[in-house]
């Protein structure tokens, strides 16, 4: 039996082991701190492969694509080319934050509103999204397609998706929250939301007038706002250490990663940390096609990966690749395929599990018909 004196004592070997792990712990803390403060990223070249063209591409994804002279709306197996005012054209991406909907259906320029690429001329100063109705998912092969619907208005009318709501007054039309079946109202009437099933078995909606507004209710609600704005405390703008503040501008932001540049460097801002990136032509670097891509005078980039030469570069289509299944044990890496064209010819890029690119030649037909 061990004596009480020996209980709790450590041998020299045990002490050495403990000290070893303490040393390693503080060593890695030092390494991490140094990296966090001084880390610099460098642009990398995409991996060139020869087998991407063998992939069967069944459906579009990503919605709006913006090129120098034209824009594209794509969804499922539909692809629509249109010609907005490029200087003022913007995709309304805050709907992902407000409604949790990452399908980019709405956009606008100085001349009007675009819903799925369809143009509605109007004064966009009055453009407002009022409601989002969660749709169902339907299966097409292995593809699940989202079917959300939006109620929105301009000075010209009130719309459910692309259908104008007859008789609705855009100046006073609002969403109401009631235990009754009424969902909307304007100065003259109540409107209800009617759910129905399409021929394809999808859930869809209509909005129809259901009754007149009583005069006392009308007067009471004329002073109320139809839209509740969220208020946030605006943080004071922060700058990376050593940057040129006079030329420091935001380039683009996507999925929590924001790119900035000044006259000297490009910076990535993520998790409250700025990281400089070297390898771009900073003076000519600008966002292109989607928020995922940049171009400078020489190349097209996916974030910090160099893809192809930028001369006459266009993004023609984005195709859905692999997706993780509903099973929690599925380790499939999500991928998308991007069809580019430049002065050299056609290129197919695969992004997901790495960045890969294949030259397809000087002639290539789109794998999905409009």
The DSSP code sequence of 207-247 is EEEEEEPPHHHHHHHTTS-S------PPPPP---TT--GGG
Has residue 112 been placed in a domain?
Answer: yes
Q: Which domain holds residue 30?
A: 10-39
Shared-domain flag, residues 127 and 16: no
Has residue 347 been placed in a domain?
Answer: no
Has residue 102 been placed in a domain?
Answer: yes
Shared-domain flag, residues 99 and 199: yes
pLDDT at 258: 92
pLDDT at 93: 78
Shared-domain flag, residues 215 and 141: yes
pLDDT at 169: 94
Average pLDDT per consecutive 10 residues, the chain (370 residues; last block may be shorter)? 46 49 40 45 96 86 88 89 93 73 82 93 89 61 55 92 90 78 83 79 78 59 46 66 93 87 94 93 94 93 96 94 73 90 96 95 71
Q: How many separate domains does the chain show? A: 2
Shared-domain flag, residues 27 and 104: no
pLDDT at 142: 37
Phi, psi of 334 (to 5 degrees): -65, 135
Shared-domain flag, residues 34 and 99: no
pLDDT at 226: 43
Instruction: Provide the H-helix boundaries in the chain.
Output: 12-38, 95-99, 215-221
Shared-domain flag, residues 120 and 217: yes
pLDDT at 355: 96
Examine the fold and report which residue of 181, 203, 221 is the final residue of a domain before the chain moves on: 221
pTM for the full predicted model: 0.75
What is d(CA 10, CA 16) in angstroms, rounded to the nearest whole number? 10
Shared-domain flag, residues 204 and 136: yes
Has residue 123 been placed in a domain?
Answer: yes
pLDDT at 39: 85
pLDDT at 38: 46
Shared-domain flag, residues 26 and 133: no
pLDDT at 314: 96
Has residue 176 been placed in a domain?
Answer: yes
Shared-domain flag, residues 31 and 109: no
Has residue 107 been placed in a domain?
Answer: yes
Shared-domain flag, residues 114 and 217: yes
Cα diameter, the chain: 95
Has residue 108 been placed in a domain?
Answer: yes
Examine the fold and report which residue of 184, 199, 221 is the final residue of a domain before the chain moves on: 221
Examine the fold and report which residue of 186, 221, 256 is the final residue of a domain before the chain moves on: 221
Shared-domain flag, residues 32 and 97: no
Has residue 5 been placed in a domain?
Answer: no
pLDDT at 217: 53
Shared-domain flag, residues 199 and 99: yes
Cβ atoms of 306 and 279 within 8 Å: the answer is yes
């Amino acid at each position: 039996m061990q004596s009480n004196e020996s209980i709790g004592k450590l041998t020299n070997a045990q002490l050495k082991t403990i000290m070893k792990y303490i040393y390693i712990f503080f060593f890695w803390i030092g390494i991490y701190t140094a990296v966090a403060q001084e880390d610099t990223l460098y642009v990398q070249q995409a991996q060139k492969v020869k087998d991407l063209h063998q992939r069967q591409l069944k459906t579009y994804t990503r919605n709006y694509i913006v090129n120098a002279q034209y824009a594209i709306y794509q969804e499922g197996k539909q692809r629509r080319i249109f010609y907005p005012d490029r200087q003022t054209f913007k995709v309304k991406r805050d709907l992902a934050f407000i409604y949790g909907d990452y399908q980019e259906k709405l956009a606008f320029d100085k001349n009007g509103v675009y819903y799925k690429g369809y143009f509605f001329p109007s004064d966009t100063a009055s453009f407002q999204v009022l409601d989002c109705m969660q749709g169902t998912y339907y299966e097409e092969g292995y593809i699940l397609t989202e079917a959300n619907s939006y109620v929105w208005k301009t000075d010209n009318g009130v719309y459910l998706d692309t259908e104008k709501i007859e008789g609705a007054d855009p100046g006073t039309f609002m969403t109401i929250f009631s235990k009754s079946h009424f969902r909307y109202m304007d100065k003259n009437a109540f409107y209800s939301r009617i759910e129905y099933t399409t021929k394809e078995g999808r859930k869809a909606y209509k909005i129809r007038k259901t009754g007149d507004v009583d005069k006392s209710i009308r007067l009471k609600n004329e002073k109320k706002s139809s839209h509740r704005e969220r208020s946030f405390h605006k943080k004071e703008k922060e700058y990376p250490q050593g940057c040129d503040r006079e030329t420091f501008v935001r380039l683009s932001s996507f999925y929590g990663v924001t790119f900035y540049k000044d006259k000297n460097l490009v910076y990535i801002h993520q998790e409250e940390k700025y990281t400089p990136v070297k390898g771009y032509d900073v003076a000519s670097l600008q966002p292109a096609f989607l928020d995922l891509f940049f171009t400078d005078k020489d190349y097209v980039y996916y974030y910090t990966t160099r893809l192809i030469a930028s001369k006459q570069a266009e993004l023609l289509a984005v195709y859905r690749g692999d997706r993780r299944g509903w099973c929690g044990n599925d380790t499939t890496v999500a991928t998308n395929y991007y069809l580019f064209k430049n002065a050299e010819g056609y290129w197919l890029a695969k992004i997901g599990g790495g960045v890969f690119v294949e030259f397809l030649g000087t002639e290539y037909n789109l794998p999905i018909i409009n």
